[in-house]
């Protein structure tokens, strides 16, 4: 899918790994969202990309007032499984908790951190710049 169609869904680029507050405020909701996406992966396999799942999970959390970070990452050439030498992965975190995509993030180097900034998500857990 062309970048122009989904770039607005990324949110605000925060430039570096933000230090976030604890995920304790929305712990039950975060666990529920994680379980939903584990179930989706089990039922649909790799039909959905990690980016699709990460965007959906972060949106679900944001709608419930939980500020989450979307992480975009790459894996170095020497570890890549593709001829072009680059793998990419996306995952979502709340505080130190990885909500979606954590099972495959080993070996990936984060290159971008994105957050949805709106009234609802800033009420619960905030990032400190």
| pLDDT, position 104 | 87
pTM of the predicted protein model: 0.74
How do residues 37-58 score in pLDDT, each as one tens digit?
888 878 887 788 889 899 999 9
| pLDDT, position 19 | 54
Q: Report whether pLDDT(36) > 80.
A: yes
How do residues 97-128 score in pLDDT, each as one tens digit?
899 998 888 889 999 999 877 644 444 444 44
How do residues 63-106 score in pLDDT, each as one tens digit?
888 889 999 999 877 655 666 677 889 999 988 889 999 888 88
With 0-12 / 13-18 / 19 or more C-beta atoms within 10 angstroms meaning exposed / middle / buried, residue 116 is buried
């Amino acid at each position: 899918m062309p970048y122009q169609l989904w770039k607005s869904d990324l949110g605000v680029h925060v430039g570096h790994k933000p230090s976030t507050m604890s995920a304790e405020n929305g712990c039950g909701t975060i666990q529920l969202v994680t379980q939903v996406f584990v179930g989706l992966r089990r039922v649909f396999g790799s039909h959905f990309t990690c980016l699709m799942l990460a965007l959906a999970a972060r949106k679900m959390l944001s709608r419930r007032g939980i500020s989450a970070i979307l992480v975009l990452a790459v894996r170095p050439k020497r570890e890549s499984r593709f001829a072009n030498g680059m793998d990419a992965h996306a995952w979502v975190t709340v505080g130190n908790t990885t909500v979606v995509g954590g099972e495959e993030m080993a070996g990936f180097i984060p290159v971008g951190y994105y957050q949805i900034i709106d009234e609802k998500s800033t009420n619960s857990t905030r990032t400190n710049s």
